[in-house]
Amino acid sequence: MAPAKLRGGLNIMFQLAITIGILAANLINYGTAKIKPWGWRLSLGLAAVPAALMFVGGLFLPETPNSLIERGHLEKGRALLVKVRGTTNVDAEFEDMVDASKKANEVKHPFRNILKKRNRPQLVMATFLPFFQQLTGINAIMFYAPVLFKTIGFGGDASLYSAVITGAVNVLATFISIFTVDRLGRRVLFLEAGVQMFIAQVVIGIILGEKFGGSKQLSKGFAVFVVIVICIYVAGFAWSWGPLGWLVPSEIFPLETRSAGQSITVSVNLFFTFVIAQAFLAMLCHFKYGIFLFFAGWVVLMSIFIFFFLPETKNIPIEEMINVWRKHWFWKQIIPATDLYNGDEKSDWQFPSKEFAENQTVQLSGSGFNKEHI
């Protein structure tokens, strides 16, 4: 429902809600850890509270204009669009939505359609962005922050307190993303954070490799410095891969494949969340400080991927996103010139050239349609 110029910031409020939830969970764990011996049961049981809030909120949640139009409720969709935009001047946008809905309804098999050549760049992004998001190492650090901090020398309470600090940094940095993503663009945040996260992980790896392990213990000063550098890393993630890993896939799919594309994005994300969560403790035991260098290497790879293959998508209406791929140095070689009628591809189809338009006159009886219209 968001207008193109505000889409990034509004979409990232989704990630902001996640980071607030993480911080709340850290605070609850910090408090319930002091309740012996049943505090952990209280911590686990309190997860029912947000579940109940989601259920009650769902009862009052309105539909979206797109959803109403796609199901044939055109007047209700237009009325809601007027309400959302705050103006009655929505005719052009409404017609675009109706046209997009008609094309979407002609596609009977969105998962089969998404595999076609013209949807290749979107499919690649829907797969690789959530894959890379997990290989930044953020979930490993956020899931196991108390264990990690306890391992490097903090006491039990101190490790939970440090996890609360990183959770707070996560929330604050997400606010920065909300206010900058539609001004600076997606690529700038991705690439800046790539450098920031890489440096932070290498520094942590070097400190732990040189100052910690075997009979060596981190001094208090180095332990505090490690927490600061982890916060720098978390901040970089929170204004880049955290929100943008969800934002970019949500804005690149046309309506006819959006449901399939979002399903793939979420499935890939949750699958690798599971894999990293299951593997991290074993990797930490085997790699030790090298675990940070492992994730730093992946940050380099994903930053290269963003630099070469992701075009800028800020302020582009979703209905016009196909033109962004057709102008990209790499994807324009893959996406065929396309006739979107009924989803059919015609790889030899082209728009008429300017010279053709200037030298031809279209003869349509009684229509008054001439070369100026071309």
pLDDT at 367: 41
Torsion of CA 359, 363, 366, 372, to 10 degrees: -20
- Position with higher pLDDT, 299 vs 286: 299
In this predicted structure, which of 8-22, 145-159, 203-217, 350-364 has the lowest mean pLDDT?
Answer: 350-364
Instruction: Please choose, from the candidates 102, 50, 97, 60, the residue with its C-alpha nearest in 3D space to the C-alpha of residue 76.
Output: 97
| pLDDT band, residue 341 (cuts 50/70/90) | very low
pLDDT tens for each residue of 226-262: 888 989 999 999 999 999 999 999 999 887 788 899 9
Check whether 354 has a pLDDT greater than 50: no
Cα 279–Cα 284–Cα 288 angle in degrees, nearest 5: 155
> CA 315 to CA 146: how far, in whole Å?
40
Instruction: Output the pLDDT for position 254.
Output: 83
Q: What pTM value is reported for the model?
A: 0.77
Question: Does the pLDDT at position 361 exceed 80?
Answer: no
CA atoms of 320 and 100, how far apart (whole Å): 11
Share of the chain above pLDDT 90, in %: 44
In this predicted model, what pLDDT tens digit does every residue of 290-300 receive, in sequence order?
888 999 999 99
Cα 199 to Cα 224, 243, 258: the distances in Å are: 17, 21, 36
pLDDT tier, 370 (very low <50, low <70, confident <90, very high otherwise): very low
Q: Is residue 372 pLDDT above 50, yes or no? A: no
- Residue 288's pLDDT band (cuts 50, 70, 90): confident
**What is the reported pLDDT for 338?**
54
Helix (H) / strand (E) containing 245: helix 241-252
Residue 53 is predicted with a pLDDT of 94
Sign of torsion over alpha carbons 39, 40, 43, 45: negative
Q: Please compute the mean of the pLDDT values over residues 171-184 and round it to a whole number.
A: 94
Predicted pLDDT at 365:
38
Q: Phi first, then psi: give them for residue 34, nearest 5 degrees.
A: -85, -10
